[in-house]
Amino acid sequence: MTRRLDADDPCPVRDGYAMPAEWAPHTRTWMCWPCRAEVWGDADGFLRAKQAYARVARAISTFEPVTMAVRPHDAAEAKLATAGKVELFECPLDDSWARDSGPTFLTGEGGRAGVAWEFNAWGNKYANYAQDALFAGRVLEHEKAKIYEAPLVCEGGAIHVDGEGTLITMDQTLLNPNRNPHLTRQQIEERLALFTGARKIIWLGEGFADDETDGHVDNIACFAAPGRVIVGIPPKAHPDFDPAMEVIRRLREAHDAQGRAVEVVELPQPAAIATDWRERLLATSYVNFYLPNGGLVMPAFDDPHDETARAILADCFPGRDILQVSALDIVQGGGGIHCITQQQPE
């Protein structure tokens, strides 16, 4: 159970900090080297995942520095696979999703800071997560940043912000009984506001087929700019089509923290409806991209919609160099390119 939030507890908003948008300038990107073999199905899948992570790390390193957290006995392997293009941070790890177990970095006048959310492996999906629960704090200590321990079970992939006070999230994730069963929606909103600086929270519904993360928003929708949200649109035959339509309905009825109506950009998702090695729906999503300085690193799925998605994102983010990286071996583990990265702002 999460701890209480008392009136005199330190929190970012009271100290002048807030979570910036992902397109704000970064000092580096954090990643974690794959280490939980079971999520990739077999030894071949595990190897392919490592190769895919290395491709993403090398792609991002063309735009900004990358630090790869790695277990000490995996350091040589990670260094070789990434061709020496990343800095290694040796520490204990249970899994490899830096977005979710890593810190949410903050900006403000008081120097470096970040939020360490309570982490319970996506609603206790995995038995061993003690090291991942400590990972955010270890990163912040390494960066000599002020640590704010949030009394909320949350993962970085569960929230997305516009940098101007608006946050989007899914009912399916943060209102799930496996996360915060003792908290009301209002109490969750209060914690999100105090620890990210959000003044307006837009809840986008539920019903998505993603059982691994319980419908993380970063696979469904994200900000392209303040007042503008990209939403992934699956094929009509996909079970996520109707929930995606509900996301669009909610956004079009909403106003952001600045009082603006929200513009929706529809992004066709992969045409192919496939399953992963567990026979679950493969969580392929073009929304799950990452914005390093001056670039956009997005997934390719060997799908007819790969180029369509690239063109739409190029229009959303003019002036950025776009690198499209094969991500099929990453999504076999339950996440995408955004899920394996975490930005550290300037």
Active site residue 91: no
Considering only CA atoms, which of 295, 117, 108, 281 is closest in space to residue 195?
Answer: 117
From the number of C-beta atoms within 10 Å of its C-beta (0-12, 13-18, 19+), residue 27 rates as: middle
Contact of 322 with 298, CB cutoff 8 Å: yes
CA distance 49 to 231: 26
From the number of C-beta atoms within 10 Å of its C-beta (0-12, 13-18, 19+), residue 19 rates as: buried
- Rg (C-alpha) for the chain, rounded Å, is 18
Q: Is the dihedral of CA 139, 163, 261, 269 positive or negative?
A: negative
The two three-digit tokens of residue 204, written as one number: 């986008």
Alpha carbon of residue 322 to chain centroid:
19
CA distance 309 to 167: 24
Biggest CA-to-CA distance, the chain: 54
CA distance 284 to 75: 29
Q: Which of the following is catalytic: 35, 154, 222, 339? A: 339
Secondary structure (DSSP) of 116-169? EEE--HHHH-SS--HHHHHHHHHHHHHTT-EEEEEEEE--GGGEEE-SSSEEEE
Length of the chain: 346
Collect all residues with Cβ–Cβ distance below 8 Å to 184 and sequence separation of at least 6: none
The two three-digit tokens of residue 137, written as one number: 């704090």
**Catalytic residue IDs:** 339
